[in-house]
Amino acid sequence: MNRLPAPFLAGLRHRLFWPCVTLALLCLVNFYFNRGFFDIEIKNGALYGSVIDILNRAAPLMLVAMGMTLVIATRGIDISVGATVAISGAVVASMIGGSLVIQNGVQSYVSNVPMPLAILGALAVALLCGLWNGLLVAGAGMQPIIATLILMVAGRGIAQLITAGQIVTVYYEPFFFIGNGFLLGIPVSLYIVAVVLIALLLLIHRTALGLFIQAVGINPVAARFSGISARALVFWVYAFCAVTAGIAAMIITSNVKSADGNNAGLLLELDAILAVTLGGTSLAGGRFSIVGSLIGALIIQTLTYAIYSLGVPPEINMVVKALVVFAVCLIQSDALRAMLARHVLRTGEAA
Amino acid sequence: MTVEPILVMQGIRKSFPGVAALKNVQLRLFPGEVHALMGQNGAGKSTLIKVLTGVETPDGGEIRLKGELIQPTCVGEAQAIGISTVYQEINLCPNLSVAENIFIGRFPIRGPAIDWKTIERESQTALAALNIHIDVTLPLASFPVAIQQMVAIARALSTAAQVLILDEPTSSLDEDEVERLFQALRQLKQKGMAILFVTHFLDQTYAISDRITVLRNGEFVGEYAASALSRLDLINTMVGREIDEASYAAETAAQTGSVAADPYVSACGLGSTGTMRPIDLDIYQGQVLGLGGLLGSGRTETARMLFGIDHTDSGTIRVGGEAVKLNSPRKAVQHGIAFCPEDRKTEGIIAELSIRENIILALQARRGIFRYLPKRLQRTIADEYIQQLGIRTPDAEKPIGQLSGGNQQKALLARWLATDPKMLILDEPTRGIDIAAKLEIMELVKAQCRKGLAILFISSEMSEVLRVSDRIAVLRDRQKIGEIAGKDADEQSVFRMIAGAES
């Protein structure tokens, strides 16, 4: 043990070490069964390949996981993000609607409401959902899981009300660009993730936001006694989380060109919580890692991809997913690793 | 008399990364004796106890119980061989009932079920032995801290121990309760139990102990009979240098800085129904106002009202002559008020954050989220206070939770001094801190006061309040019953005042 160089040991102890190892292992499994896994080719000026596909498909989850990380860091949880996705999706789809109009032999796409306005409207509705959650948690002092459960249950009903119980299909070509388009060869959704990520990292590292969130998450009373307005902070963290869900809804709705109040963002909250946990942020609050949560989201998407590409029968793929998640969580458990290390040391001494 | 010691620890060594916590330490416990373990913060008292109770494994040395070599590896094991411990911080479950807390982990079983009757009966008996008569089926949290502490002791006693370890059991007790505890200890002594008692209170050490072992910087300094070691000698052996407490007191009392003509904070009829009766307080810059009173007299409640933590429903507060509404700590901080709370661990430190982050936290909170202090400036500020207040740490990036109590308190003091406050409220700033650090902290407080800070000082040690205060507001039963000038006051006059209010 002593002969390992110091930087290597420091790397071992880095909080992102195990999430990265897990992701690398999953990629290797994919590569083993599909030698073309890492291939990337250019078709019509856009990048194609399994890796790009995974990144692209993970985009909504990555967005929501970023918002969820902050919520969890304040000792909270938000299980309403899936419902928020459904509501925002319903809003944007019904506001755009759209149809192909041919006038004087010229084809043009017409939306009910100008697209930017529709998107802003949908994001505003998402923000409203977050403000509601924040009000219940920070204002009324409800337990986060119960407070957000309310919207989780009600949300899909609200989405159905907006879409009148139908699946609303969007017929407005420019909107599809968000979820299916490419810019300089790279999927547009990844630009969105990058913008949110950079904005968030700047906020966390260039302002006191990161410090305050950690302080509130570790010891809310001491944070408040230090003059931090803990309640306002928690309130806005829920608002932010809902907005990330709203942005994710834009990508999802655009990708499937429709809004389905029942199924859009279904179980997304659980995947987001899982992504945050896999990324090394404790559900007990406090220290958190945004980048870790992104890696967590990628782990989940890579796993899903592997299950599909290995041809696991669809009826049991949830079981396989659960097993792998179980294994991953075991690998990342400090207690288990300490146990294994002791075992290895002992057998090493014996030899 | 040749009594054999029941427990002998010899040559105990223990190192943590970067520090040797114990270097060749010895300890002997005799049946029927109370043995005081004394030393400053960081002297190694806690580590020694952890080694004895199996929380830490020693790197070297041996522990013999009745001549037999023992190596406890966990608290349960230590308990099973008859070593029971009551820790400094109460290690009980506030949401469980008193009886459950006493029997947790070893519920008696009758048939397929837990025998609740026996549990309740025996809990009652165990507490009655300590002269506590309460409903043991109520949740622990419904009782004051002092009672909770007694429950912890009852729990330790009910495990048929031969050796009882009390790690600062009295830091949250008032005098009556301490006396009750001591009565119980004397009974146990007579039954032949060996008791190890760790405390920072000199009076208590001499009131109860037969033998004293002193540690300093992880080393064994000596074992003395309590009757043969004078207080001054004890302090000097602990500190390793000469501190003359009396002259220190004279010196600090004589210094009064320039006092402002008008009070910085002036509370008039400030009260909260059910918590605190209306109180008038004037706190001047350059002066220390002490709050005198027994446990439960409303000292902390007063501090919390002034810092905007608790809701007030009567009276007014003027800060710098201007009427203000302090309805949140944030508001109070904006008006230049700072507050070091009573419970360092749950209300003060953010344990997993670094010392640097803890120190700059209040300053950053006052600046707001967007005017972020650059890391380099944060480091400069932290290093400056670490040096100025003598916080003992290798560097500012260490999590504050790893510091000793005294150093945590200094870091909290630094957190507030960094905000350049006008008034500082100190609620039990020296609780659980050793003598030398206590004196250091009091000196820091005095120095800040001379620089023109207004200070509200709260302590359950009356001698401490008397030593630092220019004026003392005396509280009793959640109301102010009078005010005395510090130079006229002695313990007797304050206690007479408290007693006199009854008539």
Pair A26, A139 in one domain:
yes
Mean pLDDT of the region A24-52: 88
Pair A99, A179 in one domain:
yes
Q: What's chain B's average pLDDT?
A: 83
B249 at the A interface (CB within 8 A)? no
What token pair was written down for B126?
């165990």
Pair B66, B198 in one domain:
yes
- Residue with the bigger pLDDT between B83 and B245: it is B83
Domain span at A70: 16-311
pLDDT, residue B246, reads 45
pLDDT digits (tens, 9 = 90+) for B427-472: 988 877 777 777 888 888 888 888 889 999 998 777 788 888 889 9
What token pair was written down for B247?
């002259």
Pair B265, B406 in one domain:
no
Of A3-7, A121-125, A186-190, B376-380, minimum mean pLDDT range:
A3-7
Pair A220, A295 in one domain:
yes
Pair A326, A304 in one domain:
no
pLDDT, residue B263, reads 87
**Strand residues in B204-287 grouped as ranges (E):** 211-216, 219-225, 265-272, 276-283
User: What's the CA gap between B219 and B47, in Å, rounded?
Assistant: 12
pLDDT, residue B503, reads 39
Angle among Cα B49, B50, B53 to the nearest 5 degrees reads: 85
pLDDT, residue A301, reads 93
Q: With a cut of 70, say whether residue A348 has pLDDT above it.
A: no
Q: What does the buried/exposed string (b/e) look like for A204-240 if buried means 16 or more CB atoms within 10 Å of the residue's CB? A: beebbbbbbbbbbbbbbbbbbbbbbbbbebbbbbbbb
Domain span at B317: 246-336+421-503
Judging contacts by C-beta atoms under 8 Å, the chain A residues touching residue B372 are 206-208
Pair B37, B139 in one domain:
yes
Size of interface A-B (CB pairs under 8 A): 77
Judging contacts by C-beta atoms under 8 Å, the chain A residues touching residue B351 are 218-219
Q: With a cut of 60, say whether residue B144 has pLDDT above it.
A: yes
CB-count exposure of residue A271 (10 Å: 0-12, 13-18, 19+)? buried
B334 at the A interface (CB within 8 A)? yes
Cβ separation A229–B328 shorter than 8 A: yes
Pair A260, A296 in one domain:
yes
Give domain status of residue A5, yes or no.
Answer: no
Angle among Cα A346, A348, A351 to the nearest 5 degrees reads: 110
Pair A215, A253 in one domain:
yes
What token pair was written down for B336?
């230049």
Give domain status of residue A198, yes or no.
Answer: yes
Q: Search chain B and give the residue with CA nearest A213.
A: B369
Question: How would residue A156 be classed by pLDDT, with cut points 50, 70 and 90?
Answer: very high
Give domain status of residue A86, yes or no.
Answer: yes
| CA A185 remoteness from chain centre | 23
- CB nearest B372 (choices: A206, A214, A222): A206
pLDDT digits (tens, 9 = 90+) for A41-98: 888 888 888 899 999 999 999 999 999 999 999 999 999 999 999 999 999 999 998 7
Helix, strand, coil content of chain B in percent (nearest 5): 40, 25, 35
- CB nearest B365 (choices: A209, A214, A226): A226
Pair A101, A226 in one domain:
yes
Of A130-139, A224-233, A303-312, B351-360, minimum mean pLDDT range:
A303-312
Pair A96, A47 in one domain:
yes
CA distance A349 to chain B (A): 19
pLDDT, residue B122, reads 86
Pair B34, B119 in one domain:
yes
Residue A342: count of CB within 10 angstroms of its CB: 10
Mean pLDDT of the region B131-135: 82
Question: How would residue B295 be classed by pLDDT, with cut points 50, 70 and 90?
Answer: low
- Among A327, A321, A204, A194, smallest CA distance to A270 is for A321
DSSP string, B323-341: EE---SHHHHHHTTEEEE-
Residue that the structure tokens 């080694």 belong to = B51
Q: With a cut of 80, say whether residue B90 has pLDDT above it.
A: no
**Count, residues in chain B:** 503
pLDDT, residue B76, reads 78
Q: Search chain A and give the residue with CA nearest B350.
A: A219
User: What's the CA gap between A129 and A155, in Å, rounded?
Assistant: 9
Give domain status of residue B2, yes or no.
Answer: no
Domain boundary pick from B239, B259, B281: B239
pLDDT, residue A10, reads 64
Give domain status of residue A249, yes or no.
Answer: yes
- Residue with the bigger pLDDT between B459 and B424: it is B424
| Best A15, A225, A228, A231 residue to mutate vs chain B (most B CBs within 10 Å) | A225
- CB nearest B353 (choices: A214, A224, A225): A214
Of A309-313, B127-131, B175-179, B254-258, minimum mean pLDDT range:
B254-258
Domain count for chain B, please give it. Answer: 3
Domain boundary pick from B400, B420, B440: B420
Indicate whether this model's pTM tops 0.90: no
Secondary structure of residue B272 in the 3-state scheme: strand
- Residue with the bigger pLDDT between A235 and A47: it is A235
Question: How would residue B244 be classed by pLDDT, with cut points 50, 70 and 90?
Answer: very low
Pair B37, B100 in one domain:
yes
Cβ separation A227–B368 shorter than 8 A: no
pLDDT, residue B258, reads 60
Give domain status of residue A45, yes or no.
Answer: yes
Pair B65, B117 in one domain:
yes
Pair A323, A307 in one domain:
no
- Among B96, B97, B78, B99, smallest CA distance to B87 is for B78
Give domain status of residue A4, yes or no.
Answer: no
Beta-ladder partners of B110: B113
Q: Search chain B and give the residue with CA nearest A205.
A: B372
B164 at the A interface (CB within 8 A)? no
B307 at the A interface (CB within 8 A)? yes
CA distance A154 to chain B (A): 33
Judging contacts by C-beta atoms under 8 Å, the chain A residues touching residue B353 are 211, 214-215, 218
- Residue with the bigger pLDDT between B328 and A315: it is B328
Percent of chain A surpassing pLDDT 70: 95
pLDDT digits (tens, 9 = 90+) for B367-406: 988 999 999 999 999 999 999 888 888 889 999 988 888 8
Domain count for chain A, please give it. Answer: 2
Pair A216, A231 in one domain:
yes
- CB nearest B350 (choices: A207, A219, A227): A219
B367 at the A interface (CB within 8 A)? yes
CB-count exposure of residue B136 (10 Å: 0-12, 13-18, 19+)? buried
Most confident of A2-11, A154-163, A258-267, B2-11: A154-163
- Kindly give the interhelix angle for A81-96 and A50-73, rounded to the nearest 10 degrees: 120
- CB nearest B415 (choices: A226, A229, A286): A226
Pair B299, B425 in one domain:
yes
**Count, residues in chain A:** 351
CATH of the domain at B68: 3.40.50.300
Percent of chain A surpassing pLDDT 90: 56
Pair B49, B156 in one domain:
yes
Residue that the structure tokens 């630009």 belong to = A191
Give domain status of residue A240, yes or no.
Answer: yes
Q: What does the buried/exposed string (b/e) look like for A36-63 if buried means 16 or more CB atoms within 10 Å of the residue's CB? A: ebeeeeeeeeebebbbbebbbbbbbbbb
B375 at the A interface (CB within 8 A)? no
pLDDT digits (tens, 9 = 90+) for A201-218: 999 999 999 999 999 999
**How does strand B113-114 pair with strand B288-292?**
unpaired
Q: Which helix (H) or strand (E) holds B75?
A: helix B75-80
Pair B33, B44 in one domain:
yes
**How does strand B276-283 pair with strand B288-292?**
unpaired
Q: With a cut of 50, say whether residue A22 has pLDDT above it.
A: yes
| Best A205, A211, A226, A240 residue to mutate vs chain B (most B CBs within 10 Å) | A226
CA distance A67 to chain B (A): 18
Pair B459, B470 in one domain:
yes
Pair B375, B264 in one domain:
no
Pair A190, A338 in one domain:
no
Question: How would residue B218 be classed by pLDDT, with cut points 50, 70 and 90?
Answer: confident
Pair B448, B415 in one domain:
no
B17 at the A interface (CB within 8 A)? no
Judging contacts by C-beta atoms under 8 Å, the chain B residues touching residue A212 are 364-365, 369
Q: What does the buried/exposed string (b/e) look like for A249-264 if buried means 16 or more CB atoms within 10 Å of the residue's CB? A: bbbbbbbbbbbbbeeb
Question: How would residue A299 be classed by pLDDT, with cut points 50, 70 and 90?
Answer: very high
Q: What's chain A's average pLDDT?
A: 89
Give domain status of residue B350, yes or no.
Answer: yes
CATH of the domain at A190: 1.10.3470
Give domain status of residue B269, yes or no.
Answer: yes
Residue B311: count of CB within 10 angstroms of its CB: 11
Report whether B90 contacts B152 (CB < 8 A).
Answer: yes
Give domain status of residue B498, yes or no.
Answer: yes
Pair A207, A282 in one domain:
yes
Domain boundary pick from B420, B437, B461: B420
Question: How would residue B207 be classed by pLDDT, with cut points 50, 70 and 90?
Answer: confident
Q: What is the ipTM of this complex?
A: 0.84
- Among B285, B273, B271, B266, smallest CA distance to B324 is for B266
Q: With a cut of 70, say whether residue B164 has pLDDT above it.
A: yes
- CB nearest A215 (choices: B330, B333, B350): B350
Question: What spatial distance separates the first Cα and last Cα of chain B, rounded to whole Å?
Answer: 51
B341 at the A interface (CB within 8 A)? yes
Q: With a cut of 60, say whether residue B5 has pLDDT above it.
A: yes
* Alpha helices, H only, B352-434: 355-367, 375-388, 405-417
- Residue with the bigger pLDDT between A202 and B234: it is A202
Most confident of A121-130, A265-274, B285-294, B420-429: A121-130
